[in-house]
Amino acid sequence: MRARAAAVALSTGAARADESRGVRLLSDIRMVFDSRKADRLFSADLAAALCRIEEAPWGALRAGALNASLDGAGLAPALQDICAAYHDRLGVTVDAILDDVTVTAPVEHALLRITQEACTNAVRHGGARRLTVSMSRQDGHVELAVRDTGTGFDPAAPHAGSGLAHIRDRVAELGGTVDIDSAPGRGAALTIRVPVP
């Protein structure tokens, strides 16, 4: 057990150091890129490289958040791991209010993936620096909510990404409902209700 904890701590420390170097590199490249644009020396190759580098921290975060698993510990601890990953890797403040609920394996898996997607959307697209993730069981339903302080969006407008569509599909498969409360400039609240026996 100690060896596993030490390995996790070591890999987490290495990932943080890599991310820190990556962020500095990205900043330096952005500065060069912006000065080149100003000089009309824009390069499509440089723009593509910048996009790939910019994706690197998200890939590392996804890897860490996707490693959050159910391994028999239950849904609440797995969601807590996701919240910790956002705090530890990106410095996002995450308030987690997670009741210990017992649900079937398909519901656990869906709620885990929905939480990952909702947190990614809030931080990546909304620029949120604070999230609240809550889960409770009420009246034959599990309610999962992810709220953020980001830029918000118009839920009725078409979206280029597939994140919200994936969330809606997962919830529909479980016979649940999705409610999105957001508007430009005021953050977003995603509430999922899934029936459970």
Q: What per-residue confidence (pLDDT) applies to 163? A: 84
Per-residue pLDDT of the chain (197 residues; tens, 9 = 90+): 343 443 344 444 444 444 544 544 445 445 444 444 444 344 444 444 444 444 545 454 444 444 455 566 789 999 999 999 999 988 999 999 999 999 998 999 999 999 999 999 999 889 999 999 999 999 899 999 999 999 999 998 887 778 888 899 999 999 999 999 999 999 999 999 999 98
User: Among 13, 38, 62, which residue terminates a domain?
Assistant: 62
Whether 103 and 167 share a structural domain: yes
Question: Is the residue at 68 inside a domain?
Answer: no
Q: What per-residue confidence (pLDDT) applies to 68? A: 54
- Contacts for 83-89: CB closer than 8 Å, 24+ residues apart: 83/119, 83/131, 83/133, 85/61, 86/61, 86/119, 86/123, 86/131, 88/12, 88/16, 89/15, 89/16, 89/19, 89/57, 89/60, 89/61, 89/64
Total domains present in the chain: 2
What are residue 103's DSSP bridge partners? none
User: Among 62, 85, 106, which residue terminates a domain?
Assistant: 62
Q: What per-residue confidence (pLDDT) applies to 38? A: 42
Question: Is the residue at 116 inside a domain?
Answer: yes
Whether 134 and 111 share a structural domain: yes
Whole-model pTM: value is: 0.67
Whether 58 and 93 share a structural domain: no
Q: What tokens appear for 113 in the block?
A: 């993936």
Whether 102 and 177 share a structural domain: yes
Whether 55 and 99 share a structural domain: no
Whether 54 and 150 share a structural domain: no
The residue segments making up the domain with residue 49 are: 2-62
Whether 47 and 95 share a structural domain: no
Q: What per-residue confidence (pLDDT) applies to 69? A: 55
